Amino acid sequence: MKALVIGVGGLGCPASLALAPHARLLTLVDYDVVELTNLHRQPWHHPGDVGRLKVDSAAEKIRALFPALQVVSLSTRVTAQNVDPLFELHDVVIDGTDDAQAKFMLNDAAVRTRKSLVYGGVLRMTGQAMRIQPDGPCLRCLFDGPPDEAPSCAQAGVLGSMAGVIGGLQAQLALTPNPVPGEALLHLVDGLAFRARQVRLEKAADCQACGRG
């Protein structure tokens, strides 16, 4: 399996660790550098990595643990202009971003390129994840687009352990195709009550991204 992890932070670190034993190629993309405040929830990065590119810090640790795995690190911002070729080179993509606009941009790329994308998000003590795959529902079947004023994780705060739970779940979803064609499960995790539920989604005929138009 060739896996692409976009964002090597709170979600991308645990997701890449869980995927590494199953992957033949693991591509990490992030333009950010390691900060001291990242360390508690981004376990690839250690105190000596502060100031380094996250992709370099993570790739070094993953290569040491999984020497047979091909690890590619790209220090770039994924945009609508460069996203499609990145998706096309891989089988499955992990959304490890923390910004709503980026999540919809990745969603649209998954629909265009017919690649599987595992969406994930964490806010304070709650998290969610969903596998978007060809012919199934996408994020825009559920929401028209990003909310006008969505706080980023940095603004709203994230419990480190929730990022670990959701990142691990994303890796699991990356390895497990949705069993029913045309359906997907949105996983909702409440970290305070430690309760999870699944909402079954179907394609929306009038979806702006994947509908018949």
Give catalytic residue positions: 153
The sheet carrying 126-132 orders its strands as 70-74, 25-29, 2-6, 92-95, 116-123, 126-132, 183-190, 195-202
State the minimum distance, in angstroms, from the CB of residue 93 to Zn ion. 16
Write each residue from 171 to 210 as x if it is in contact with Zn ion (CB under 5 A), else as -, in one continuous string. ------------------------------------x-xx
In the bound state with Zn ion, the residue whose beta carbon lies nearer, of 153 and 210, is 210
* Residue number with CB closer to Zn ion (109 or 207): 207
Instruction: Compute the CA torsion angle 59, 63, 69, 71 (nearest 10 deg).
Output: 20
CB of 140 to Zn ion, least distance (A): 5
Instruction: Specify the 3-state DSSP secondary structure of 58.
Output: helix
Select 120 or 137, whichever has its Cβ closest to Zn ion: 137
Tell me how far apart the alpha carbons of residues 21 and 29 are, in angstroms, rounded to a whole number.
19
Length reported for the chain: 213
In this complex, which beta carbon is closest to Zn ion, that of residue 28 or of residue 111? 111
* Structure tokens, 151: 């706080």
What whole-number distance in Å separates Cα of residue 199 and Cα of residue 101?
Answer: 23
> What sections of the chain are H helices per DSSP?
12-19, 54-65, 83-88, 100-113, 139-142, 153-156, 160-175
Binding characters for Zn ion, 137-166, by CB under 5 A (x = yes): -x-xx-------------------------
Site string for Zn ion, 82-121 (x = CB under 5 A): ----------------------------------------
Binding of Zn ion at residue 130 (CB under 5 A)?
A: no
Binding site for Zn ion (CB under 5 A): 138, 140-141, 207, 209-210
